[in-house]
A and B are shown apart, each in its own frame.
Chain A
């Protein structure tokens, strides 16, 4: 899993029953890809004593049972796996999804503001937003909530200064070079630019989420 662009990952405790493999401390495409690949590797070959693997934006959490293994021993196992060079081929497992979005209007109240922040008019912004497929970076924060990235530099916009107390499921959010899709009602400080009928989370389905980290997402204007 050598990656010339990144330093060696840090292996740190997260509480007394968690081990976090951090590929970076800031968000980057390379670190995210490594986290996804390493999580896949771990899932194929779950280390002894580990109950759960959770990939995040630039890290992977391993939850373990301290009755079965201690941190140092698990860290040793993880170090061996990191050095084993058997990275999963992410292209093999990536699925592409088309997500139809109604942009702006009542369901995308921050579209104009987000477009203005990039110096584009609304139509050009939507076009630029939908131009390339994004990758699902991770699922987190709330049920089925996915972070998709990365947009080009020209579309980097910070979060809003105010937090909306509640946005509905299917909200399409934009900030920090990413687009996120909500699957439940949540508060957010991101720009709400539209809404989709796509629901990534269904507690009764198996698995409960459709999108997996590493999948490709193409946003399009709803017909």
Chain B
């Protein structure tokens, strides 16, 4: 219903937000672009090497398909699990009074269902960092 969309703000309500986005984006792009123009240029081969506290730069970790510790991927996956839980909890929080006891029991079952793999993960040591 178009009236409902209008009452809740509609997409027009986002216009000021987009304007702020445009201003800050413009400022950031301007800063990034102006920096090499106003700054001095004193070329030096040693300066443009990756910084490694003065020692010879090691072979690049990222350039040739280098490796990244797998713990970070695991953390990312856990994050997705919980982020989805979070996203599902917000609608319930907004409508909690309307759905009452039934909603609470449903959401509790949902939280328990997420908690079981979490406890399993904990017991298996997936949350230990090293």
Q: Do A and B come from one complex?
A: no
Chain A positions within 8 Å of B, measured between CB atoms, are none
